[in-house]
Structure 1
């Protein structure tokens, strides 16, 4: 996996078909996850049709798991690449009580909110269980 987007091992959720999922270190928005393409590519058109389809299935599976765990009002999907030129999705559950649900998370000023080890393990396990649950 490209070093620019290799997630942190203690935040690893799962290996998916063509990607890996990691919990963002900053959990100010609970459940913020990265779905990172395992091979290096910068644009969707760099992927084969099969890779694109598999990646969208990976994103969809993770979104379904996050929806089951967090019951968000809305789930945001971001695929940018402006700062890190590697295909990686940000999936962000937007919950009731969100400080500013009208805007992308980038526009909401906040201090980073890392989780202590125990709550981090609990959050990872909840998402892993939901990901493994039958559809």
Structure 2
């Protein structure tokens, strides 16, 4: 079930029309998108494909796949971006974004101290001129998808 006023559900309703950056990969439970309005290449968002407002409302099948997705995406990001680690964060509190979603954020070795930990979200508040362009996000999506289908991931993603 999707909810019309929900941003994520609106995208889900058009999944077959989405550009690579908005559907990096998916299975029956989860969809991966490159974050928009970010200054950090490779910032991913993992979303359930049905409307879920709280983690405790995930089905057992969604929950079982969640950890696999988080690890597979972290491995793919390490391969594609060379990040030192990934941050995995879930709040789902912003207006219009109450749909559960997990941020899978590549933490580069040279990330400035003022952007480490929860302060990485400042990279979602940078001026538009610093945002990752759509074509670059599409390129990253393709590279991440290839990693998910390779030895690090599963062919069904």
TM-score between both structures, scaled by the size of structure 2: 0.73
Q: CA deviation at 1:16?
A: 2.9
Bigger proportion of residues as helix: 2
Q: CA deviation at 1:82?
A: 1.1
Runs of 4+ in 1 over 6 A off after TM superposition: none
Q: What is the CA–CA distance in structure 1 between the aligned matches of 2:148 and 2:86, rounded to whole Å?
A: 16
Q: 1:134 to 1:17 in 2, by over 3 A?
A: farther
Post-superposition Cα deviations, 1:2-44, rounded to whole Å, max 9, x if no partner, equal 5422379222211135100111123411100111100111112
Whether 2:62 is the aligned partner of 1:59: answer no
Q: 1:71 to 1:17 in 2, by over 3 A?
A: farther
Bigger proportion of residues as strand: 1
Q: What is the CA–CA distance in structure 1 between the aligned matches of 2:140 and 2:24, rounded to whole Å?
A: 10
Q: What is the CA–CA distance in structure 1 between the aligned matches of 2:47 and 2:40, rounded to whole Å?
A: 19
TM-score between both structures, scaled by the size of structure 1: 0.84
Report the RMSD for the aligned CA atoms in angstroms. 2.2
**What is aligned with 1:106?**
121
Aligned pair count reads 134
Q: What is the CA–CA distance in structure 1 between the aligned matches of 2:68 and 2:117, rounded to whole Å?
A: 26
Q: What is the CA–CA distance in structure 2 between the aligned matches of 1:37 and 1:116, rounded to whole Å?
A: 23
Unaligned runs of at least 5 residues, structure 2:
153-157
**What is aligned with 2:99?**
86
